Structure 1
Amino acid sequence: MRLLLIDTSGPVCAAAIYDAEDGSLMAARSETIGKGHAELLPVMVDEVVAESGVPLASLDRIAVTIGPGSFTGIRVGVAMARGFGVALGKPVVGVSTLRIVADSALEIGPPAPVMAVLDAKRDEVYAQIFSPLGEALTEPASYDYAGAAAAASRFDAITIGSGAGLLTGGDATGPDAFPLVAIGRIASRAEQDEQASPLYIRGADAKPQIGFAVQHA
C-alpha cells in the first residue's frame, strides 16, 4: 500500500509518499512556515510525486492530519486531501494529532494507558486516552489542567506530549512533532472509512472551557 501524506496541522507544512510494506518514506518535503500552507502544499505534493516515481493515480489512499491544531492549517490540508480523493477516486483517511503523539509510546507496548496531551494555550490542553493496545478510551476533548490531571488519574494513564508538564505545575514543551512515518503507519492500519473531517474541538475564537471537557463535533 502506498499513501500520499499531508500534514498542515501546525507551523510545519509537509507532504510525503509512504510505502506501508516496508514502513518507509519514498519521498518527503517538510518546512516550518507558520502560515502559507495553501501556497506551499501543492508544490510539495508535486515534488514528492515526481521524486518517488509513484503517479497520484497509483496511490492506494490519501492521509491527512485533522487536528487538533492550527484552525487554518487543518482546513487547508483536509480540503486538499479531499480534493485529491474525489479527483482520483481514492479513500481519504484522517489521522488525529493526539493519536500521532500517543503512537510513540504505544509502539513500544506501554504497561498502562497513554494520555496524549497537547498544549492548547488559554490555560487548556487537548487530550485523549488510549489503551496499551491503541484503542481510544476517551474522545478527543479540551480540558483545564485540573480536569486533564483528574482524567489521567482515573485511568492511571501515562501522559505524553507538549502539555503533559502542565498537568503537574510545570511548563509546556513543544511544538509537538508529528512524524510523517507515524502518520503513514497509523493511516495504513486505519479503516478505509476513517473520518477525514477537521477535529477543531473548539472554535478559533472560542473562550476557554473551564471545569469540563468539550466533545468534538
Structure 2
Amino acid sequence: MILLAIDCSANLCAACIYESGEGRELSRSVLDLGKGHAEHLIAVIDAALAEAGKGYADLDATAVSIGPGSFTGIRVAVSAARGFALALKIPAIGVDTLEAIAAEARGLVGARKIMSALGNVTTDADALVQVAVYDEFGQELYAPSIMRAGEAANLASGHGAVLAGSAAEAVAAFSAAPLTVAAKAATADIAVYARLAAAKGPSATKPSPLYLREPDAKPQAGFILPRREG
C-alpha cells in the first residue's frame, strides 16, 4: 500500500510517501513554517510525490495528524486528507498527535509507559496541558485529556511513565519523584504517522480534528461590527 501521510499539527508542514508492504519511507518533504500551512501544504505534498516518483493516482490511502495541536494547521491537514480520500476514492486514516509522540518516544527508550504532554512550557503548576498515557505496547491507558501541569506530574508518576512532548520538561518539574523526559517536540516525525496509520489500516470512520482546549484566536472587540436591525 502506497500511503501519503501529512502533518500540520505544530510548526512543521510535513508530508511523506510510505510503502506499507515493505515498511519503509519512500520520500518526504518538510517545512518549518510556524504559520501558513494552507499556502504550502499542496506544494509540500507534490514535492514528496515527485521525490518518490509517484502521482496522486498511485496512492492507496492517506494519513493525517488529527491533533491536538494548532487549530488552523489541523483543520488544513484534515480537510486535505479527506479531500484526497473523496477525490481518489481511497481511505483517510487519522492518527492523534499524542499517540504519535508516544510511539516515537518508545523507539528511544524501549518498552516503557509513555505520557505525551503538550502545552506551553511554564512554571505554573496550574497551567493547562494536554496529556495521554500509553502502555509498553502503545495501548491507551489514559485517554487524551486536558489537566493542570501539577496533576499531570502526579499522573505520570503514578503510572511510572516516561514523558514526551512540548510540555514534558514542565510537567517533570512538578513531580516529587524523578521523571525521565524522552523527547520535547510538539509533534512526531512524519514517518511515525505513516507507520501508525499503516498499522491501523482503513477505517469507516473519517478523520476529524481532536481539540482538547479552546481556540487561541478570538475576535478583536474593536473590530466587531454593530448588528443592523430591521
TM above 0.5, one fold? Answer: yes
* Residues 23 and 181 in structure 1, CA contact (< 8 A), matched pair in contact too: no
Larger Cα-atom Rg: 2
Partner of 1:151: 155
Deviation at 1:59, TM superposition (A): 1.5
Deviation at 1:21, TM superposition (A): 2.9
SS in 2 for 1:185: helix
SS in 2 for 1:126: strand
Once residues 162 and 23 of structure 1 are traced to their aligned partners in structure 2, the CA distance between those partners, rounded to angstroms, is 28
Deviation at 1:154, TM superposition (A): 2.8
Q: TM-score, normalised by structure 1?
A: 0.85
Decide which moves more: 56-65 or 82-91: 56-65
Q: Note if 1:26 corresponds to 2:30.
A: no
Equivalent residues, number: 205
Once residues 15 and 202 of structure 1 are traced to their aligned partners in structure 2, the CA distance between those partners, rounded to angstroms, is 26
Once residues 19 and 55 of structure 1 are traced to their aligned partners in structure 2, the CA distance between those partners, rounded to angstroms, is 14
Deviation at 1:44, TM superposition (A): 1.7
Decide which moves more: 154-163 or 79-88: 154-163
Once residues 83 and 121 of structure 2 are traced to their aligned partners in structure 1, the CA distance between those partners, rounded to angstroms, is 31
1:45-194 matches, cutoff 5 A: 45-107=45-107, 110-120=110-120, 123-169=127-173, 174-193=184-203
Deviation at 1:121, TM superposition (A): 5.9
SS in 1 for 2:136: coil
Once residues 184 and 168 of structure 1 are traced to their aligned partners in structure 2, the CA distance between those partners, rounded to angstroms, is 29
Once residues 72 and 198 of structure 1 are traced to their aligned partners in structure 2, the CA distance between those partners, rounded to angstroms, is 10
**Alignment root-mean-square deviation, CA:** 2.3
| Contiguous gaps of at least 5 residues in structure 2 | 175-180, 218-230
**Structure 2 residue identity aligned to 1:36:** G
Q: TM-score, normalised by structure 2?
A: 0.80
Deviation at 1:146, TM superposition (A): 1.4
Decide which moves more: 109-118 or 23-32: 109-118
The alignment-based identity, stated in percent, is 37
SS in 1 for 2:66: strand
Q: Note if 1:197 corresponds to 2:208.
A: yes
